[in-house]
Amino acid sequence: MQFPKQRLFWAVSLGHAANDMFMSMRSVLLTFISAYLLPMTSGQIGLAVSAVELSGAVSQPFFGWLADKTGGRLLGAGGVAWTVTFVCIALIVVTLGGSYWLMVIPLMLAGLGSGAFHPVGSMHATNVEPLHAGRNAAWFFMLGQLGLGIGPALAGLLVNNTLSRNHEILSAPLGPAFQDVLIERGSVMPVLILTLLAIPAVLFMARVLPSQAAYKHEHRKEESLKSASATSTPSEPLPYGALVLLVVTVALRALGSLSIVTFMPMMFQQKGWSPAEYGILTSSFWIASGIAGIWFGQLGDRHDRRRIITLSLLISVPGIFLLPGLNGIMAFVVAIVVGAMSGTHSLIVVLAQSLLPGRKGFASGLVLGLIFATGALGNLVVGNMIDHIGITTTFQIVAVVTLFASFLWLFIPTKQTSHIKAHVPHLEEAEQLV
C-alpha cells in the first residue's frame, strides 16, 4: 500500500483530523449536556446539530470558489482555528448556565470554520497527485474520520469522570424512595484541554499551504500548458441534470450515515450505557468509516465509483434496521459494519470533481456542502421522527429509504480518470515562493 508523501497533503490531512475531532464531539456532548446540564428533546438535539452543519454546508461553495482563486492558506488554517474556538465558547456558555440558544449560536458559528476548511483541504489533497486522486482523497478523508473517531471517545471519557454519581453513592443508604430521584450533575470543561491537540495542525497548515502569490503562479503555469496542448478542449457546460441527481442521492444517503450516528449516543444512553461507552461506540463507527474509506478509494481508481457506493449502501441496510434492537458486543459489531459502509465520502468528492473538472475547489465545496447540508436536514427530520414514533421505527424507516436510494447512484454520469495523460504540475517551485 502506497502512502502520499507530499507535505502539502499531510498538512491539510492533519488539519482535517483536528477539525473533525471537534466537530464530531457534538452528538456525545449534546447527549451529556441534555442529561446533566441543560435538558433537551431529541428534536432540539437534532436542531442544534443541524444548525452547525447547515452553517458550514451553505458556505462551502463560496469558500470553494474563493479557494480556487487564492489557494486557501487563510481559509484552511484559519478555518480550523475558528472551529475549535467556537466549540469551546459553546461549552463555556453551557457551563456558566447559558440557555439553549446561547449554546447553539457559537456552535453554529463553529460550522463556518469547518465550511472554510473542507474545500481547501479536499482540493489540495486531490491536486497533489491527479493520477491517484481517489487514493489521496481516501487518505484525506481517513484522517478526517480518525478525528471523527477520536473526538467522541475522548469527549465521552473526559466528561464521564465529572459525573457526581449521587445514585451510586447515596441511593442505597437512603433507601428505595430516593431511587432515580437524586439529581446528577457533570461538567464539559475538561474537553477544553483538547485544544492543545489542534494547535500543531493549525501551525503546520499556516506554514505549508501556498500563499496567494505562489498559488496564482502555479495556476498560470497550468493554464499555459493547457493552452499549448493540442488536445485541449473547450470548457464544458455545467451538467445540470447530473448535479440535480447528485443532490438527491447525497440527501438520501445522508439519512443512512450522518443521521444514524448523530442519534446513536441517545439510543444507547436510553439502554443504560455510560458516556464513555456510547462515546467509544460512536468512535468505532467513524474509525471503521475511515479505514474502509482507504479501500473504497483504491477501488474507485480502478472500478466504477457509482457501483461501489451502491454496494456499500446495500450492505449497510440490514445493520441500520437491526441496530435499535441490539446491545452489548453485537451493537459494536453492527455499528462498525454500518460505519465502514459509510466510508465512501472520497468517492463522492472525486465523482463531483469529474463532473466539474475545471473547478475542483468549487466542486469540492459544492459536494461537501451537500453532504453536510443534507445531513443537517436529516438530523432535524430524524430527531423529530424519534420524538413522535420512537427510535426503533425511525431507524427502520431510514433503512428502507437507504435501500431505495442505493440504486439511484447508478444513474449519475461519471468520467473515470484512471488514464490521465495530462501534465502533472510539480509543487516544489510554488513552495519556494511561499
pTM assigned to the model: 0.68
Least confident of 43-52, 159-168, 174-183: 174-183
For residue 392, tell me if it sits in a domain: yes
Tens digits of residue pLDDT in 18-58: 999 998 888 788 888 888 888 888 888 888 888 888 888 88
Phi/psi region, residue 179 (left: phi>0; alpha: psi -120 to 50; beta: rest), is beta
User: Could you tell me the three cell numbers for 16?
Assistant: 482535517
| CATH label of the domain that carries residue 303 | 1.20.1250.20
With CA atoms as reference, report the closest residue to 87 among 250, 198, 200. 198
At which residue does the C-alpha cell 464530531 appear? Answer: 24
CA–CA separation, 4 and 125 (whole Å): 9
The whole domain housing 315 covers 7-216+239-416
CA distance 249 to 42: 25
Residue 55, pLDDT score: 87
Answer for the pair 73, 209: CB distance below 8 angstroms, yes or no. yes
User: Where is mean pLDDT largest: 15-29, 181-195, 212-226, 232-246?
Assistant: 15-29
The model's confidence at residue 78, banded by pLDDT at 50, 70 and 90, is very high
With both helix axes pointing from N to C terminus, report the angle between 240-255 and 345-355 in degrees, rounded to the nearest 10: 170
- Name the burial class of residue 241, with classes exposed (0-12), middle (13-18) and buried (19+) by CB atoms within 10 angstroms of its CB: exposed
Range with the lowest mean pLDDT among 122-136, 154-168, 189-203? 154-168
CB 334 within 8 A of CB 288: no
Number of domains in the chain: 1
List pLDDT tens digits, range 269-311. 888 888 888 888 888 888 888 888 888 877 877 888 889 999 9
Mean pLDDT of the chain: 80
Is 421 within a domain? Answer: no
In a domain, 168, yes or no: yes
Using CA atoms, how far apart are residues 379 and 120, in angstroms rounded to an integer? 26
pLDDT of 231 reads: 46
Q: Residue 105 to residues 65, 81, 299, 411: CA-CA distances in angstroms?
A: 26, 17, 41, 39
Mean pLDDT of 180-207: 82
Confidence of residue 1 (pLDDT cuts 50, 70, 90): low
Average the pLDDT over 338-353 and give the result.
82
CB–CB of 326/378 below 8 Å? no
More confident of the two residues 88 and 261:
88
Is residue 181 pLDDT above 50, yes or no?
no
How far is Cα of residue 368 from the mean position of the Cα atoms in its chain? 9
In a domain, 424, yes or no: no
Whether residue 302 is contained in a domain is answered as yes
- Most confident listed range (80-89, 210-219, 348-357): 80-89
Q: What is the pLDDT of residue 137?
A: 78
The pLDDT, as a whole number, for residue 300 is 78
- Does residue 323 fall inside a structural domain? yes
Q: For residue 2, what are the CA distances in angstroms to 132, 135, 175, 294, 425? A: 10, 9, 62, 11, 20
* 60 neighbors 366 (Cβ within 8 angstroms): yes
pLDDT at 238: 62
Residue 6 has pLDDT above 80, yes or no: yes
Q: Each residue of 200-229: pLDDT tens digit?
A: 999 999 998 888 777 776 666 555 555 554
Does 426 fall in a domain? no
Q: Are 226 and 33 in contact (CB under 8 A)?
A: no
* Mean pLDDT value across residues 227-240: 53
pLDDT in the model for residue 148: 79
Mark out the alpha helices in 185-274 (DSSP H runs): 195-208, 212-228, 240-255, 258-269
Spatial contact of 167 and 331, defined as CB atoms under 8 Å apart: no
List the grid coordinates of 431. Answer: 513552495
Contact indicator for 344, 25 with CB cutoff of 8 Å: no
Place of cell 456558566: 96
Q: What pLDDT score was predicted for residue 17?
A: 93
For the ranges 78-87, 182-191, 394-403, the lowest mean pLDDT is seen at: 182-191
147-164 mean pLDDT: 82
Assess if residue 229 is contained within a domain. no
State the cell numbers at 167.
445514585
pLDDT in tens, 376-422: 788 888 888 888 999 899 999 999 989 988 898 888 876 554 444 44
Span 133-161, mean pLDDT?
82
